[in-house]
Structure 1
Amino acid sequence: MKKIFSFAKKKKGFSPNSSDTGSVLSAGYELKEKDLGKLHKAASTGDLTKLKQLVKKHDFNQLDKENRTPLHLACAYGHADIVRFLAEGKAKLNLCDNQNRSPLMKAVQCQQEQCAVTLLENDADPNLVDINGNTALHLSALIPSISMAAQLLEHKANINAENKEGCTPLILAVTENHPEMVEFLLKEGADVDADNNSKRTSLMIAASNGQISMVRLLLRYNADISLKDDKGWTADDHSVMNGHHA
């Protein structure tokens, strides 16, 4: 990798290495009041008094048409008091909606950290996967939220979990150009040479995208410059092919 630091000006926009990871920009649920039962409505609006009355006669884990529990909605909308009441009651913490996302995943995706912490403290599973194979840690890497990622790792989230595209949280953070998240994950022991389904490593992706500071960061953590993807290309080859050599 003779000239890996000789990149042209960094390109903006989405990387061709991006995978279908699921949107974090439209993280919340689209709700129609007519489709909500009483429990779900109380959870979504944050009406704890009403919810406490309703659970005396209704199932904590009632599902709506999208397989969402009241806990899913409380997490998505950040009603921490309701989340605590349900989590410490009879609510099942690991039920998944139609996107195969648990309440914890929704709390992370919607950046409701207090809700996420409450769930983790009550033993919610941080390693469940959604329809894209993403864990809660993948979602926190995409946002990015280092504080959320730290909480997940403290509760035994798998730092090298792979989604359906073979991407680890580190690879997603590199792809989305989140250097602080990348360094945090590397400090926490993420595999710098983990590769995706195309055998592309974080270093190859950064080199392909012209992310010079990211390349330097990965090299500081001893990224292997000799590795090749499924086409036989190294990180240096990717930088040349994408016009990032001087």
Structure 2
Amino acid sequence: MPQSGSLEFIASCYLDLHMGVPFCLSPSEPSRPEAPQRLALAWTLGLRHQSGSWPPSSNPVAPECAIANSHVGADGWQKCLGQGLGSTVAEVCSKPAASAMKKPFGLRSKMGKWCCHCFSCCRGSGKSNVGTWADYDDCAFEEPRYQVRREDLDKLHRAAWWGKVPRADLIVMLRSIDVNQTDKEKRTALHLASANGNSEIVKLLLYRRCELHAFDSKKRTALIKAVQCQEDECVLTLLEHGTDPDLPDVYGNTALHYAVYNEDKLLAKALLLYGADIEAKNKCGLTPLSLAVYGQKEKMMKFLIKKKANVNAIDKFGRTVLILAVCCGSASMVGLLLDQDIDVFCQDKSGKTARDYAVSSQHNIICQLLSDYKEKQMSKKFSENSNPGKEAEE
């Protein structure tokens, strides 16, 4: 058990208070991450700097000064610890009560990335359009939120979606109703509550031991819906209770794919912290990194590369991440990939390399970047072959 007053203890208290889990840090609980991981997650939730950045060091444990620089502050944490389990985030946060923090990750933008024709920048008649994108199915990203009609829902599902039922009434209701019953779209109450951000109802449903891994009509779990809709508190509650982050939907996308598509680094960090597979492929063979490049989401691309995602991943058409970056016409992404240990000679199933796509699209800057990279590689190999003894000594 961490010592009272230590940063690790404060982080544990915050998680226990906010997530509604037992007030302890027992290593024997398999569903709970190790203490440093929980500390990192606590940093994500409440100990972040005003800029919303993650600690720059490779160690996930935040420095002691983090509390003083966070929007909660040291006094707020002491107040939180002093008031016991009944405290709420709103009570310790220095932000005005009028802006109640429904989202623990309140410093980052919400949604705004969904459109009817995703990745439209790669679909026009410009240089990016080299006949590649028609092979990929974007419909998975078209409608993140559920379309709900009141008349289609029963009493429990209405309560889960709108969340306006008094807690006492909901507890009585849950005693007499099957919490896993589904509507016409195969959605459970947990799906609806998670998708609409009703975290207190999510906790009650989990307390009643509802099915964590039930699938809706598109084979999506409640976790996937919460990530899609960026309902942060619901995501963290589901992860804390042992939801598998790697279950794919009908399109093969995992929760991490949707976090990447939303450019939601904080949820992506939380998913990876709970063991999400960074190399999971959807039905098009796109890993989260491939998806980031495909969608020209450069910040997510940098984030995933730092998390050691495979830069040589190949999709079902044999296209590498580099080929996708070339097809997007993004010289900056190509440059970032060339800084890694990457294969520039790999051919896709049509026999084309990254350079072939760059030439056919008349991306002159990218062609020059690839030529320069090849020259450096050839020069490096020549130098190694000329000095085999020196290399062996090293």
Q: Per-residue CA shift, 1:192-211, capped at 9, x if unaligned? A: 01011110011001112210
Q: Per-residue CA shift, 1:58-78, capped at 9, x if unaligned? A: 011111111100010011111
2:175 matched to which residue of 1? 56
1:78 matched to which residue of 2? 197
1:6 matched to which residue of 2? none
Query: Aligned equivalents of 1:12 and 1:132: distance in 2?
Result: 22
Offset at residue 25 of structure 1 (A): 4.7
- Give the aligned CA root-mean-square deviation in angstroms: 1.6
1:93 matched to which residue of 2? 212
The reply to whether residue 158 of structure 1 matches residue 267 of structure 2 is no
User: What is the percentage of aligned positions where both structures have the same residue?
Assistant: 40
Query: Aligned equivalents of 1:208 and 1:245: distance in 2?
Result: 13
Query: Aligned equivalents of 1:227 and 1:212: distance in 2?
Result: 19
Amino acid at match of 1:76: A
The reply to whether residue 40 of structure 1 matches residue 149 of structure 2 is no
1:228 matched to which residue of 2? 347
The partner residue of 1:173 within 276, 282, 292 is 292
2:27 matched to which residue of 1? none
Q: Per-residue CA shift, 1:11-55, capped at 9, x if unaligned? A: 934464372144435211111111101000000011352422210
The reply to whether residue 185 of structure 1 matches residue 304 of structure 2 is yes
| Structure 2 stretches lacking a partner, 5+ long | 1-119, 124-128, 366-394
Query: Aligned equivalents of 1:60 and 1:236: distance in 2?
Result: 55
Indicate conservation of the 8 Å contact 2:193/2:199, yes or no. yes
Query: Aligned equivalents of 1:100 and 1:12: distance in 2?
Result: 29
Change (3 A) 1:21 1:121: farther
Indicate conservation of the 8 Å contact 2:296/2:328, yes or no. no
Indicate conservation of the 8 Å contact 1:209/1:242, yes or no. no
TM-score, normalised to structure 1, is 0.91
Indicate conservation of the 8 Å contact 2:174/2:208, yes or no. no
Query: Aligned equivalents of 1:30 and 1:135: distance in 2?
Result: 21
The partner residue of 1:244 within 363, 383, 392 is 363
TM-score, normalised to structure 2, is 0.58
| Structure 1 stretches lacking a partner, 5+ long | 1-10
The reply to whether residue 203 of structure 1 matches residue 322 of structure 2 is yes
Query: Aligned equivalents of 1:221 and 1:126: distance in 2?
Result: 28
The reply to whether residue 12 of structure 1 matches residue 121 of structure 2 is yes
Aligned length: 236
